[in-house]
A and B are shown apart, each in its own frame.
Chain A
Amino acid sequence: MPHDHSDHDNHLDPIEARVRALETILTRKGLVDPAAMDRIIETYSEDVGPKNGAQVVARAWAEPDFADWLAQDATAAITSMGFSGRQGEHMQAVFNTDGVHNLVVCTLCSCYPWPVLGLPPTWYKSPEYRSRAVYEPRAVLAEFGVTLREGQQVRVWDSTAELRYLVIPQRPAGSDGLSQAQLAELVTRDSMIGAGLAQVPT
């Protein structure tokens, strides 16, 4: 918690009180059910996260047929693995290759594929990332420690309320013979935004 309340009695910050006021109004109107809200919070705090996306990427590396499906209809391919829900209705998978590195941003707000990546990291929501990813993606990538190959093109994808992107990073060298579960361990959240690469097995 950001504040220490030990020196006085119960206290609500103005923003906390505003949120409670909204909840009260909406509950009285019958528009929200507090129990349903608790379920939503639990789901997004614990169950949904980048481990889901990592499983999708690992399967795409291991099964060429699945990779093809993902390329053609990412929404269906991802839903088939049980990952669906809000902000995942229309997905597109973009594959990194020797020639192209993909980077995802939402310039307008913070659209992000929740079912496969969970909620976005703080930096993804910052105005700095939202603008610089578009006009100087190479500099942004360098700050994330991503070195591009000579001649490798950067393609920046701007998410919208209608379409979300999942970057499929390149399968790292030395990962032959690993199981899908082991492969998934190599797939970081940042690599699925394009702000990182998959880890090399040690």
Chain B
Amino acid sequence: MTRPEHPFDAPWQAQAFALTLALHEQGLFTWGEWTAALSDALGADAQDGAMYYQCWVFALERLIDQKTGTTEAQRANLAHAWRRAAQATPHGEPIKLENDPEASLICQ
């Protein structure tokens, strides 16, 4: 139990964490609002580290929707675009959203 642990198991966890702090510092939400959203999302599901950050992302999406008016559909469209962009990016190169073959259809 005392072995050193890296705080994040994957880069996306660190990104989600940093987004949350950055948004709080911008004043988008209070820390109390964030912990309330996180504890709602956690419920009893966060059995391990990966599930914990899955819940974290879910809580963050909800709070951002509430505060900025984004919708689940907007987020889902962009997430699909990112996945298509990843598929279209040659291995070893950084994934960019511009690589999405359908980019002209969804990126205004």
Which A residues form the contact surface with B (CB < 8 A)? 1-2, 5, 9-26, 29, 31-33, 36-38, 40-41, 44-45, 86-87, 108-111, 118-119, 121-123, 125-127, 144, 160-162, 188-190, 195-196
CB contacts (< 8 Å) of A23 on chain B: these are 15, 19
CB contacts (< 8 Å) of B74 on chain A: these are 25
B79 CB to nearest chain A CB (Å):
4
Chain B interface category by residue count: 35 or more
Question: How many angstroms from the CA of A32 to the CA of B27 in the assembled complex?
Answer: 11
* A125 contacts B24, C-beta separation under 8 Å: no
* B2 contacts A188, C-beta separation under 8 Å: yes
* B22 contacts A33, C-beta separation under 8 Å: yes
CB contacts (< 8 Å) of A26 on chain B: these are 19, 23, 64, 68
A94 CB to nearest chain B CB (Å):
20
Do A10 and B48 form a contact, CB below 8 Å, given A31-B28, A32-B26?
A: no
Residue of A nearest to B89 (CB): A10
B89 CB to nearest chain A CB (Å):
4
* B82 contacts A21, C-beta separation under 8 Å: yes
